[in-house]
Structure 1
């Protein structure tokens, strides 16, 4: 495994746990020659470092041979909603996919000062990756007809539409604005009385 090539490669995705709709940021990166997989809900952090040997040992049963395979598996399962988290007393069980072909790993909970330091580092890594992506696009990537402020959805889960779609009827001329089902009343034209009676 080429850790030097992975030094610039970090992966971030949002994971929505279907059991309780809680949100997590799942991330992976290299630090000090180890491959790290982590998970946070912005208040607690669970993280595990893998060396080449421990990553190969863990991947024997899962058919994942390299850090790139793990990054790809994390991105795909977070993207299609098949990743889940079970928080335990001293860690979190990260389940990537549904059987068969699922990968599970237990990530130990980081202590308070270590967890805060990891959250701070994660925040700055994410900000640097966004800045690098913007710099790579440069100012010429913005066309005059489009907004400069593109919404980056790389860190958000894909939202699935739930519930029925409401169709809005077009208001016809003469329909009441206050009571849309009724028509406006026409003004009274008056009554002609004969004085000959």
Structure 2
């Protein structure tokens, strides 16, 4: 798995409900004790659950996973692949991450309005930090002359194929022939001048 340090601590992605095409922001928050919080929000309401280390170890056995990172990666893949769907209830929600009954399902509690606002605020700043980090990585790579030259030549310039030897083109001088370069252009004929003095 290609995961950086920030992604191993938390996951943030879009969840598109396969049933009604509703959009949610899905998130996980890894805690230091080895347990994680999992939740999602539609921007107004937030649903969240806590998975202890004991519950996670049971899930690892059930799905043949080795670590919390493997588990969160599985959740993220299910969300991004469009297999997830949500069943909202009055004070809770069920998150299903697959079509089969054996697939992962989570029960999440709805947060109060004040808790939900705090959670959305934290997610907003987390997204802004991620974007800023991506921009700084992009600007530092563009400062490298080798990388920027390679990008320009491979991505933006058309590929040209040369067939045969490359001939140097000599600049045409004024008066040179267009058909036979290197030879002077002939002046057009002006006619023949007859001497009428002999007839007298």
TM-score by length of 1: 0.62
Higher RCO (C-alpha under 8 Å, 6+ residues apart): 1
Superposed counterparts of 1:67-146, under 5 Å: 67-99=68-100, 102-141=103-142, 143=148
- Cα distance between partner residues in 2 of 1:108 and 1:58: 20
Any idea what the Cα deviations from partners look like across 1:158-191, whole Å, max 9, x if unmatched? xxxxxxxxxxxxxxxxxxxxxxxxxxxxxxxxxx
Quick one: structure 1 residues 24 and 124, their matched pair in 2 at CA, closer, same or farther if it must change by over 3 Å?
same
More helix by share: 2
Superposed counterparts of 1:40-79, under 5 Å: 40-79=41-80
Indicate conservation of the 8 Å contact 1:17/1:84, yes or no. Answer: yes
Indicate conservation of the 8 Å contact 2:8/2:69, yes or no. Answer: no
Q: Which runs of 5+ in 2 are unaligned?
A: 153-200
Is the aligned partner of 1:19 residue 2:26?
A: no
CA apart distance, 1:72: 1.3
State the structure with more CA Rg: 2
CA apart distance, 1:85: 0.7
RMSD value, Cα: 2.6
- Cα distance between partner residues in 2 of 1:62 and 1:93: 19
- Cα distance between partner residues in 2 of 1:55 and 1:6: 20
Q: Which runs of 5+ in 1 are unaligned?
A: 147-197
- Cα distance between partner residues in 2 of 1:104 and 1:65: 19
TM-score by length of 2: 0.61
- Residue 138 of structure 1 aligns to a residue in which SS? helix
- Cα distance between partner residues in 2 of 1:101 and 1:6: 30
CA apart distance, 1:15: 1.3
- Cα distance between partner residues in 2 of 1:40 and 1:15: 9
